[in-house]
């Protein structure tokens, strides 16, 4: 366990942090939005606002863990770009993307995007206690509640002035969803962090509301998995099993339960997160890594970078819930072995490959683009260090 933590700390400090610091745009602000497979940085590529929020979250977490002043400045660099360029001062909310020099590019307003800004701003406030950041997070939370909901849950996509739009950005696999498990999960994740730093009871009310949806609408008890794409009434649209989202949900829901501290919801949700973790271990953990997903019961064995990262945290979380489940800790260590062999790019000045195929060969996709960021792998490093460093100290005592 100790060497596992040490390896991940070294990776965070010597590979991930320097890579993302190297993408800082000192001229126009924020961080460059695209690095292709051949490691060419396109300095005039659009800057995804989700990417910027995730970078803000990453450096805020890294600063809280490592207490190095350069990380505080890295986080502030991302914060200033979000505040000055990603926020729509006319209609409110966060744009989908902006140009390299900070003008609105895709002015779609997506609930998912608003949630990640709340998540990032809450982390930045936690790191540096900037009251303005917390105020912005609360404002965006209020906007989500006023403009992005119906009585049954959270809607998806809107025009710049918040008229309904098709959810082309988060609908996949041939369906156009009106609600998604993915968006709900990340609103929940964002509100968990906002509640943790603010203790605003109105946020706690919505956390309970979302857990009811997870347990009663999204979780398919007969199949032991979450459904993914839904119509407005929470009817599932497709037979799809997203292995990465399930294991991510398991630990994020447990984190929400811990922050909320509500025994009633702990009794309701903990059996579900336990079952999700067990099923992912049994169904998706294959040859030392996690498969991507299964559509119509046919598994896609691509090893996607973020799925492996979330698998590590999810399995460590499963081990921490019951130390008798040592197979989960072993699975997390095996996932890290797979990542170091096949997903961490050995080339100088790179990060992780997007994915590897069934023969463990890297797939030629960008190293950085609006969805490829330090959110999953950076967060995994921080979570493992925080969780298992404590476990290791206790074991020695």
Structural domains in the chain plus CATH codes: 2-396 (1.50.10.10)
Residue 154: the pLDDT is 98
Residue numbers of the chain with a pLDDT score lower than 50: none
For residues 302-327, b (16+ Cβ closer than 10 Å) or e, as one string? Answer: bbbbbbbbbbbbbbbbbbbbeeebee
Structure tokens, 117 = 């800004």
Residue 376: the pLDDT is 98
Residue 141: the pLDDT is 98
Question: The whole model's pTM is what?
Answer: 0.96
Residue 169: the pLDDT is 72
Residue 396: the pLDDT is 60
Residue 394: the pLDDT is 59
């Amino acid at each position: 366990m100790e060497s596992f933590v040490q390896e991940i700390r070294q990776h965070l400090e010597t590979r991930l942090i320097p890579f993302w610091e190297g993408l800082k745009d000192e001229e126009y602000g924020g961080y460059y939005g695209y690095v292709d497979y051949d490691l060419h940085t396109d300095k005039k590529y659009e800057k995804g606002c989700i990417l910027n929020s995730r970078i803000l979250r990453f450096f805020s977490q890294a600063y809280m863990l490592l207490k190095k002043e350069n990380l505080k400045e890295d986080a502030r660099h991302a914060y200033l770009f979000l505040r000055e360029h990603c926020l729509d001062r006319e209609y409110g909310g966060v744009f989908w993307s902006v140009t390299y020099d900070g003008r609105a590019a895709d002015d779609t307003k997506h609930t998912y995007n608003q949630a990640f800004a709340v998540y990032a701003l809450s982390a930045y406030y936690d790191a540096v206690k900037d009251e303005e950041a917390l105020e912005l997070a609360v404002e965006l939370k209020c906007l989500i509640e006023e403009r992005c909901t119906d009585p049954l849950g959270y809607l998806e996509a809107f025009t710049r002035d918040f008229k309904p739009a098709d959810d082309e950005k988060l609908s996949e696999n041939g369906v156009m969803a009106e609600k998604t498990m993915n968006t709900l999960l990340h609103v929940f994740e964002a509100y968990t962090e906002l509640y943790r730093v603010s203790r605003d009871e109105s946020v706690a009310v919505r956390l309970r509301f979302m857990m009811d949806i997870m347990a009663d609408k999204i979780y398919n008890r007969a199949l032991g998995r979450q459904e993914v794409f839904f119509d407005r009434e929470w009817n599932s649209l497709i037979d799809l099993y997203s292995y990465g989202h399930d294991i991510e949900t398991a630990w994020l829901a447990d984190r929400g339960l811990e922050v909320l501290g509500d025994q009633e919801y702990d009794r309701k949700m903990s059996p579900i997160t336990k079952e999700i973790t067990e099923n992912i271990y049994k169904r998706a953990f294959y040859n030392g890594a996690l498969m991507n997903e299964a559509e119509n019961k046919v598994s896609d064995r691509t090893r996607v970078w973020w799925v492996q990262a979330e698998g590590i945290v999810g399995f460590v979380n499963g081990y921490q819930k019951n130390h008798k489940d040592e197979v989960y800790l072993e699975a997390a260590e095996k996932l890290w072995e797979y990542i170091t062999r096949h997903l961490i790019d050995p080339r100088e000045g790179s990060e992780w490959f997007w994915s590897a195929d069934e023969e463990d060969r890297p797939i030629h996709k960008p190293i950085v683009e609006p969805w490829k960021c330090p959110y999953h792998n950076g967060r995994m490093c921080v979570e493992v260090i925080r969780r298992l460093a404590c476990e290791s100290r206790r074991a020695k005592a």
